[in-house]
Amino acid sequence: MLWLVVLRPLPVAWVYDTNLTPLASLRSSSGWQVVGEFLLLAPLGVLLPLAGGRLRAPWLPSFLRTTGASALLATGLEFLSSWTPGHVLNVDHILLAVIGVAVTHLALVPGLRRLLRDRRPRVRVPAPAPAATSAPPPAPKVTALVGPPVARARAYAEPTPPAR
């Protein structure tokens, strides 16, 4: 456990302290930095829900799973990046990344799921023809199998009888 203390960088005077106050560092950030934090994990807002392949999933559980997973991932990444010299833990980075994932999910996933559902080929069942009142229904067609029965492939091997 001592190696964890040794590898942790020491706080220095020219680096800010850890920011644990939400949205406190936005005043000192430029617009491009905020946009970059939004877009950092934004692709996960589309990739996580569609990775399961379920096109008829309800939107609220999908949204909650996606934002929860992105919050865990963003927290882990921020914690790991705070071990590099010169980078301090900032809760705003986590919040902006999760908000970016949530906005991306809400903006794109319902439309993409609808688009993929509509592109999927549907099995069309022909509508029954209207029955004529005076004519009897046609007799079903019967076909006979000709030749010896064909052995089906089995999912498991049957034991062979011992040779005598």
Average the pLDDT over each of 7-21, 92-106, 140-154 and give the range with the smallest value: 140-154
Q: pTM higher than 0.75, yes or no?
A: no
Neighbours of 107 (CB within 10 A): 13
Token readout for 126 is: 């022909």
The answer, yes or no, to whether residue 106 has pLDDT greater than 70, is yes
Note the pLDDT tens digit of each residue in 31-56: 999 999 999 999 999 999 988 888 88
